[in-house]
Amino acid sequence: MTGTPESITNSAPDEWFTDESFWRELYPFMFPDTAFAVAEEQVDRALALTGVQAGAVLDLCCGPGRHAIPLAKRGFTVTGVDRTSFLLEKARARAATARVAVEFLLEDMRRFRRPESFDLAVNMFTSFGYFEDKADDLEVLRHVYESLKAGGVFLLDMVSKECSPRSFRRRRPQSCPRVSSSFSDTRSSMIGRA
């Protein structure tokens, strides 16, 4: 990789998700080993849900490669996009350990697009809807649509506002909620076809 894309350097400084220290400090809580272990099952469920069994996959907001790497292990050609260099470093290290090839790109999801390139696009772990300006969310959706091949599928994994309150209970201040282990009653998966 040669330098930081302009879309990363030009992000608004007050956007909470642009703070690399946030991801570095919360990494052990957001991505414990158990989160990587359940990713294999999540990928199996995503593939069963979408019906996609081969081809090129875009993992948008791929983070440390939890889903990109299992997809690559299953023979998909995977492109993982994230705007956090710390998480991409983790993803590259995990891919090397797993001995799989994944194209990891440092890019803002609002800017990435690769016309008619992917059979499947996934956005997992509630990585959508962070932007103050909802026009940015629409721009992401337009770019994903443009990046899908004809008949391609987009899987958007979100925590359901109707069910998520059930998963949060009073916790002692020193504890941190754990990542959901799979698609469950607190998650909604939306699928769109190109």
**Domain segments of the chain: what residues?**
32-164+172-193
- pTM to 2 decimals? 0.77
13-28 pLDDT, tens digit each: 577 667 778 768 887 8
What is the enclosing helix (H) or strand (E) of 106?
Answer: strand 102-106
115-134 pLDDT tens trace: 999 999 999 976 676 778 88
pLDDT tens, residue by residue, 54-90: 999 999 999 999 999 999 999 999 999 999 999 999 9
Residue 46 has pLDDT above 90, yes or no: yes
In this structure, how many other beta carbons lie within 10 angstroms of the beta carbon of residue 65?
29
Say which CATH architecture domain 32-164+172-193 belongs to.
3-Layer(aba) Sandwich (3.40)
Distance from the Cα of residue 62 to its chain's centroid: 4
Asked if 136 and 145 touch (Cβ cutoff 8 Å), the reply is no
Residue pointed to by tokens 């052990």: 28
User: Alpha helix (H) ranges present in 68-154?
Assistant: 68-73, 85-98, 134-147
